């Protein structure tokens, strides 16, 4: 083996071909973690074909909502009841209904902020350089073409056999992606 | 069934010959290759000039203090608060289009949500200037924030003004994040289509290296869905808190339980109007007729009319309740509004927000882009007048006749209003020049879903 490959990249003209290709690759024994499917818009059902079952965006958003809301509410209680209790017109120190609005707003804010972190971390972004970007063909992945990548670290990957397998899926092109 | 319904003569939400390639090419070329026209330069120059005026105004305000404005006792709130409510209300419409119509699967919203969200971000940013500069000593604005300081000062958590601070803070950050994260895939398209290395680097950094892998899409979609749900909550809660700033006060004309829903309706009304005021020229100048079709204008006009009717009902209800309560202060306040020295503000509001929008009942007018544009512009003016009316005519003649007094704006009052419009257009024109104005990946999704419906027998 002369050059270590990042993987082999097959290019398709439409979403149906990509979906069929992913199905064939999975049926052929490639691991879901070893293949990647690129499309210019989210394709319904593609993630299921890739065997992705759970991802933690909703979970982290829930954690953010609970954490942000609870902390704000605690802060309001602490500052108004413990740290600086002051009687204004006989209003209760712990005015619990009036403390709800800021807590709700902060729950929403922290849910969204943790959600963004979960999206970016899950996609390992930001990463402005990537082996795929060296391929001229891949520039169309964000415009109008669809790509299937079989990564070199898939146990079933074999430069020649995988090349033949991809060529059998009637792609527009199959190119080798060099490692960085 | 189809024999009973009138024939739908409107064009489809997206021209049938549009493909993934043509969407990517047309929308990204508007940012990448389109020469900067003289119209853009002229508009940008004017906006820059107004920003300069705003800057001069802010410097003078910081030096001389709030005395440069026409406000005094009894009218201690005026232009600044009206501007603030007006701008933040405009922002609400953008979030509503982008979030609530995403949740209700209104496919046609895919071509307007991007610039509507941009409008939200800029309008909320502009609105935030006003309450801070109105503090008297704006350099202490951070006292609103709870932090362990040596003076042992804590914010007053029971006050709706403090709630407002948290609401705006959350709303501003959430709308920026929602807008930017939703734009990543389109920034990646610009990166990959950039004709020069400098552009590729610029958009490459902005897109954070987005590649469009299926699992990345899945996470982004889930984030967008949940954030949309949260953003709708924000629209209603934030503007309700803006309304509570007023209704917590014991002033006739402010102390009303109808204020929160009334303000939210007004927010959506002016937000839809601003989307039309921005969208109709964009469509023409950038040749986006294939994406922003006649159907979009008609639909938006209908939504603006619906929101307007809610607002009109609130006007009616306010007046009715004042007389029904037989509270002599409420009745007097209402009479001052209708026939007092500020009657022209009341009748101007009625003209723009009640009478003019009734034209939108006619299909011929809804389908006429120029007419809809003029009506929407009228709504923006009417909504500003309404804010002014609610604030000033509630304050200028309150309980004791000995404490009555008029409010006259100074030149600085007017300069800050015009300057804020300049700042908004400064940001919006930069957006129109540099960033993807329509959401390309959502339009591709729309095309794909239409193909699927057509293929179905």
For the stretch A87-140, pLDDT in tens is: 888 889 999 999 999 999 999 999 999 999 999 999 898 998 899 998 888 999
Q: What is the 3-state secondary structure (H, E, C) of chain B?
A: CCCCCCCCCCCCCCCCCCCHHHHHHHHHHHHHCCCCCHHHHHHHHHHHHHHHHHHHHHHHHHHHCHHHCCCCCCCCCCHHHHHHHHHHHHHHHHHHHHHHHHHCCCHHHHHCHHHHHHHHHHHHHHHHHHHHHCCCCHHHHHHHCCCCCCCCCCCCCCCHHHHHHHHHHHHHHHHHHHHHHHHHHHHHHHHHHCCCHHHHHHHHHHCCCCCCEHHHHHHHHHHHHHHHHHHHHHHHHHHHHHHHHHHCCCCCCCCCCCHHHHHHHHHHHHHHHHHHHHHHHHHHHCCCCCCCCHHHHHHHHHHHHHHHHHHHHHHHHHHHHHHHHCCHHHHHHHHHHHHCCCHHHHHHHHHHHHHHHHHHHCHHHHCCHHHHHHHHHHHHHHHHHHHHHHHHHHHCCCCCHHHCCCCCCCHHHHHHHHHHHHHHHHHHHHHHHHCCCCCHHHHHHHHHHHHHHHHCC
Task: Give every CB contact of residue A50 below 8 A, 6+ residues apart in sequence.
Answer: A22, A26, A32, A35, A37, B214, B215
Measuring CA to CA, how many Å separate B14 from each of A42, A125, B454?
Answer: 18, 32, 14
Walk across the sheet containing A5-12 and list its strands.
A35-38, A146-151, A5-12, A173-178
Q: Is A177 on the interface with B (CB under 8 A)?
A: no
Nearest-Å Rg of the Cα atoms of chain A is 25
How far is B416 from B422, CA to CA, in rounded Å? 10
Cα dihedral value B84, B85, B86, B89, nearest 10: 120
Q: Answer whether A122's CB lies under 8 Å from B219's CB.
A: yes
Q: Do A57 and B223 touch (CB under 8 A)?
A: yes
Q: Is A32 on the interface with B (CB under 8 A)?
A: no
How far is A125 from A119, CA to CA, in rounded Å? 8
**End-to-end CA, chain B:** 18
Residue corresponding to tokens 């239409």: B450
Q: Answer whether B100's CB lies under 8 Å from B144's CB.
A: no
Provide the pLDDT for residue B1. Answer: 39
Q: Is B253 on the interface with A (CB under 8 A)?
A: no
With respect to residue A117, please indicate whether it lies within any of the assigned structural domains: yes
Min Cα separation B4/chain A (Å): 36
Look at residues A35, A60, A38, A16 and name the one whose alpha carbon lies nearest to residue A135: A38
Provide the pLDDT for residue B3. Answer: 46
Q: Sign (positive/negative) of CA torsion B441, B447, B448, B450? A: positive
With respect to residue A172, please indicate whether it lies within any of the assigned structural domains: yes
Render pLDDT for B233-264 as a digit per residue (tens, 0 to 9): 999 999 999 999 999 888 888 999 999 999 99
Task: Give every CB contact of residue B394 below 8 A, 6+ residues apart in sequence.
Answer: B246, B251, B252, B253, B254, B333
Range 209-238 of B in CB contact (< 8 A) with A: 209-223, 226-227, 230, 233-234, 237-238
Q: Answer whether B292's CB lies under 8 Å from B284's CB.
A: no
Q: Which helix (DSSP H) or strand (DSSP E) does residue A15 occupy?
A: helix A15-27
Question: Taking all residues of chain A, what is their mean pLDDT, rounded to a whole number?
Answer: 90
How far is A19 from A25, CA to CA, in rounded Å? 10
Q: Is B191 on the interface with A (CB under 8 A)?
A: yes
Q: Is A54 on the interface with B (CB under 8 A)?
A: no
Q: Do A47 and B215 touch (CB under 8 A)?
A: yes
Considering the domain architecture, whether residues A33 and A75 belong to the same structural domain is answered as no
Q: Which domain holds residue A80?
A: 57-122
Q: Answer whether B267's CB lies under 8 Å from B237's CB.
A: no
Q: How many C-beta atoms surround the C-beta of residue B233 within 10 A?
A: 14
Render pLDDT for B256-288 as a digit per residue (tens, 0 to 9): 999 999 999 999 999 999 999 999 999 999 989
Chains A, B: CB pairs < 8 Å: 190
With respect to residue A136, please indicate whether it lies within any of the assigned structural domains: no
Q: Do B219 and A55 touch (CB under 8 A)?
A: yes
Provide the pLDDT for residue B261. Answer: 94
Considering the domain architecture, whether residues A113 and A154 belong to the same structural domain is answered as no
Considering the domain architecture, whether residues A106 and A67 belong to the same structural domain is answered as yes
Quick check: helix, strand or coil at residue A47?
helix
How far is A8 from B34, CA to CA, in rounded Å? 36
Considering the domain architecture, whether residues A102 and A154 belong to the same structural domain is answered as no
Q: Which two tokens stand for residue A137?
A: 């063909």
Q: Which two tokens stand for residue B380?
A: 């923006």
Provide the pLDDT for residue B225. Answer: 94
Provide the pLDDT for residue B347. Answer: 97
Q: Which among A80, A98, A101 has the least Cβ separation from residue B154? A: A80
Q: Is B163 on the interface with A (CB under 8 A)?
A: yes
CATH number at residue A14: 3.30.70
Provide the pLDDT for residue B190. Answer: 95
Chain B positions in Cβ-Cβ contact with residue A55 (cut-off 8 Å):
215, 218-219, 222
How far is B382 from B160, CA to CA, in rounded Å? 26
Q: Is B410 on the interface with A (CB under 8 A)?
A: no
Residue corresponding to tokens 């397998």: A165
The ipTM is: 0.93
Q: Identify the residue among B214, B224, B230 best suited for mutation to test binding to A, counting A beta carbons within 10 A and taking the highest.
A: B214
Considering the domain architecture, whether residues A77 and A111 belong to the same structural domain is answered as yes
How far is B407 from B396, CA to CA, in rounded Å? 7
Q: Do B193 and A143 touch (CB under 8 A)?
A: yes
Q: Do A111 and B210 touch (CB under 8 A)?
A: no
Give the residue on B whose Cα is nearest the Cα of A91: B158
Render pLDDT for B277-330 as a digit per residue (tens, 0 to 9): 999 999 999 989 989 999 999 999 999 999 999 999 999 999 999 999 999 999
Q: Which two tokens stand for residue B283?
A: 């469509």
Provide the pLDDT for residue B8. Answer: 65
With respect to residue A128, please indicate whether it lies within any of the assigned structural domains: no
Q: Which two tokens stand for residue A119?
A: 């999206």
Q: Which two tokens stand for residue B22?
A: 């043509």
**Domain count along chain A:** 2
Considering the domain architecture, whether residues A117 and A65 belong to the same structural domain is answered as yes
Q: Do B214 and A115 touch (CB under 8 A)?
A: no
Q: Do B19 and A118 touch (CB under 8 A)?
A: no
Q: Do A129 and B173 touch (CB under 8 A)?
A: no
Q: Which two tokens stand for residue B202?
A: 């610029």
Q: Where does residue B416 rank: exposed (0-12), middle (13-18), buried (19+ CB within 10 A)?
A: buried
Task: Give every CB contact of residue B402 below 8 A, 6+ residues apart in sequence.
Answer: none
Q: Is A115 on the interface with B (CB under 8 A)?
A: yes
Min Cα separation A125/chain B (Å): 6
Q: Which among B24, B222, B237 has the least Cβ separation from residue A143? A: B24
Provide the pLDDT for residue A1. Answer: 46
Find how far residue B443's CA is from the centre of its chain: 23
Chain A positions in Cβ-Cβ contact with residue B222 (cut-off 8 Å):
55, 57-58
Measuring CA to CA, how many Å separate B457 from each of A44, B5, B453?
Answer: 20, 22, 8
Q: Which two tokens stand for residue A150?
A: 């079989």
Considering the domain architecture, whether residues A28 and A68 belong to the same structural domain is answered as no
Look at residues B252, B110, B262 and name the one whose alpha carbon lies nearest to residue B185: B110
**End-to-end CA, chain A:** 16
Q: Report the half-sphere exposure of B345 (CA within 13 A, side-chain side).
A: 19
Min Cα separation B233/chain A (Å): 9
Stretches where chain B sits below pLDDT 50 are: 1-3, 5
Q: Which helix (DSSP H) or strand (DSSP E) does residue A151 occupy?
A: strand A146-151
Q: Do B441 and A41 touch (CB under 8 A)?
A: yes
Superfamily the domain B24-145+153-451 falls into: Formate dehydrogenase/DMSO reductase domain (1.20.1630.10)
Confidence of residue A2 (pLDDT cuts 50, 70, 90): very low
């Amino acid at each position: 083996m002369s050059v270590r490959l990042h993987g082999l990249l097959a290019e398709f003209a439409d979403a149906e071909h990509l979906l069929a290709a992913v199905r064939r690759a999975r049926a052929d024994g490639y691991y879901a973690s070893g293949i990647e499917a690129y499309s210019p818009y989210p394709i319904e059902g593609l993630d299921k074909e890739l065997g992705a079952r759970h991802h933690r965006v909703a979970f982290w958003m829930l954690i953010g909502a609970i954490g942000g809301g609870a902390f704000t509410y605690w802060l309001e209680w602490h500052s108004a009841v413990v740290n600086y209790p002051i009687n204004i017109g006989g209003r209760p120190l712990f005015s619990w209904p009036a403390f709800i609005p800021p807590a709700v707003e902060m729950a929403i804010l922290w849910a969204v902020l943790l959600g963004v972190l979960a999206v970016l971390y899950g996609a390992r972004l930001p990463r402005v350089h990537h082996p795929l970007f060296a391929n001229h063909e891949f520039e169309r992945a964000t415009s109008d073409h669809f790509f299937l990548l079989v990564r070199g670290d898939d146990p079933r990957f074999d430069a020649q056999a995988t090349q033949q397998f991809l060529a059998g899926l009637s792609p527009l092109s199959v190119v080798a992606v060099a490692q960085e | 069934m189809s024999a009973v319904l009138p024939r739908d003569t409107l064009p489809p939400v997206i021209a049938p010959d549009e493909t993934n390639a043509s969407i990517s090419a047309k929308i990204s070329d508007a940012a990448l290759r389109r020469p900067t026209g003289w119209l853009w330069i002229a508009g940008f120059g004017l906006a820059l000039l107004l920003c300069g005026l705003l800057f001069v105004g802010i410097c003078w305000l910081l030096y001389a203090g709030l005395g440069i404005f026409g406000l005094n006792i009894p009218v201690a709130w005026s232009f600044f608060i009206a501007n603030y409510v007006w701008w933040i209300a405009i922002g609400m419409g953008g979030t509503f289009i982008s979030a609530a119509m995403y949740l209700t699967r209104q496919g046609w919203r895919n071509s307007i949500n991007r610039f509507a969200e941009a409008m939200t971000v800029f309008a909320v940013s502009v609105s935030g200037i006003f309450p801070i500069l109105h503090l008297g000593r704006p350099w202490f604005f951070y006292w609103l924030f709870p932090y362990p300081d040596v003076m042992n000062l804590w914010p007053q958590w029971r006050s709706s003004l403090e709630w407002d601070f948290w609401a705006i803070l959350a709303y501003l950050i959430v709308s920026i994040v929602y807008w930017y994260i939703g734009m990543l895939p389109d920034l990646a398209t610009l990166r990959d289509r950039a004709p020069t290395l400098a552009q590729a680097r610029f958009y490459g950094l902005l897109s954070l290296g987005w590649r469009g892998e299926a699992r990345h899409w899945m996470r982004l979609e889930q984030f967008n869905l949940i954030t949309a749900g949260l953003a709708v909550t924000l629209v209603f809660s934030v503007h309700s808190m803006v309304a509570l700033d007023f209704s917590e006060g014991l002033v006739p004309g402010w102390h009303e339980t109808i204020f929160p829903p009334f303000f939210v309706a007004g927010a959506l009304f002016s937000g839809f109007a601003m989307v039309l005021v921005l969208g109709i020229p964009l469509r023409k100048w950038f040749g986006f007729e294939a994406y922003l079709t006649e159907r979009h204008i008609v639909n938006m006009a209908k939504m603006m009319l619906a929101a307007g009717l809610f607002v009109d009902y609130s006007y009616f209800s306010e007046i009715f309740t004042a007389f029904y309560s037989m509270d002599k202060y409420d009745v007097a306040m209402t009479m001052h509004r209708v026939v007092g020295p500020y009657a022209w503000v009341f009748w101007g509001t009625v003209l723009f927000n009640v009478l003019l929008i009734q034209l939108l009942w006619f299909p011929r007018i809804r389908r006429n882009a120029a007419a809809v544009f003029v009506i929407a512009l009228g709504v923006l003016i009417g909504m500003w007048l309404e804010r002014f009316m609610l604030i000033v005519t509630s304050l200028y003649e309150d309980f004791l006749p000995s404490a009555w007094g008029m409010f006259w704006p100074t030149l600085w009052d007017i300069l800050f209003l015009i300057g804020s419009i300049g700042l908004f257009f400064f940001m919006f024109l930069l957006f129109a020049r540099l960033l993807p104005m329509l959401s390309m990946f959502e339009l591709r999704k729309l095309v794909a879903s239409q193909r699927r419906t057509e293929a179905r027998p």
